[in-house]
Structure 1
């Protein structure tokens, strides 16, 4: 997630102060990625330093306003026309957890997978419920609200990611089981037990 480009995109519409930017960002993304107000002001300071935004005075309540510069507009345009690169995937805590779990002798990997699957299924149900609510409110009003559409796209992304994670967990479970079977010596190859009793 790029807070920098997100704030610049919002400032393209009109000058705003930090708290307004935070509220607009969270409104348009359904508060999926809440922003810390300190992060907003730190980002604004960097954007100002880099010539992407500039001070636009204060409003009647004394809030310091920021507006986008031509350089900032160029950065927003470049961001929207440049595909998101996947060459450096973000750290995935679940993938790291399972990669380490399979190397630890005392960890019940199947239990880890099952616990995560239950949690992901719960999240998927929550996202689906939110999506239905969002679609119902849009249908009731009769008009498509751009912020509502944006929130719907975020929800779609979360639903698809949860579904993909469940499929991946099923795949992991199958691989772990197969690996366990391959490590276990087969009954056929095991030596027959020796009869230690003397013949009568």
Structure 2
């Protein structure tokens, strides 16, 4: 998840305080990925350093609103027009744990897989239940949450299928 690009995209709509950016990020991602306010300000400082964002106004109380620079607007436009690179995937703790378990002496990899599958299916049920509780035709924040839940359900279903495949391969050895 690119917090950097997300904050730039939100700032493309107008000036915001750090706390406003945090709120908008959380609302627009269906409140799935809470973000620490410290991370927002650290990211903003880097964006200022990189010339993509600048301070717009500083209030007497020390609060600051931020806005995009021309270079920041170009960066957002480039991000919208570029697909996310899936060729270099991020680290996945489940895949790493299973890969290590099957190679580690004395570790019952099948038990590790069974525990993970149980947790994966539990989470899948939570996502599915939450999706069913959403309004019939969600808008705004509800639509964001629905889209994110759909994604989480697909990813979790894929993980469950992968765990089954790993178990089959281990049993066939």
TM-score between the two structures when normalised by the length of structure 2: 0.93
Partner of 2:113: 113
Counterparts of 1:29-178 in structure 2 under 5 Å?
A: 29-58=29-58, 62-134=62-134, 136=135, 139=137, 144-178=138-172
Partner of 1:188: none
**Structure 1 CA distance for aligned equivalents of residues 10 and 37 of structure 2:** 15
Cα offset, 1:105, TM superposition: 2.9
Cα offset, 1:31, TM superposition: 2.4
Whose radius of gyration is greater, 1 or 2?
A: 1
Structure 2: tracts of 5 or more residues without a match: none
Return the structure number with greater relative CO, CA threshold 8 A, min gap 6. 2
Structure 1: tracts of 5 or more residues without a match: 180-200
TM-score between the two structures when normalised by the length of structure 1: 0.81
- Which aligned runs of 4 or more in structure 1 are off by greater than 2 angstroms? 58-63, 144-148
Query: Tell me, what secondary structure is at the counterpart of 1:57?
Result: strand
Let me know the Cα RMSD of the aligned residues: 1.6
Cα offset, 1:73, TM superposition: 1.3
Aligned length, in residue pairs: 173
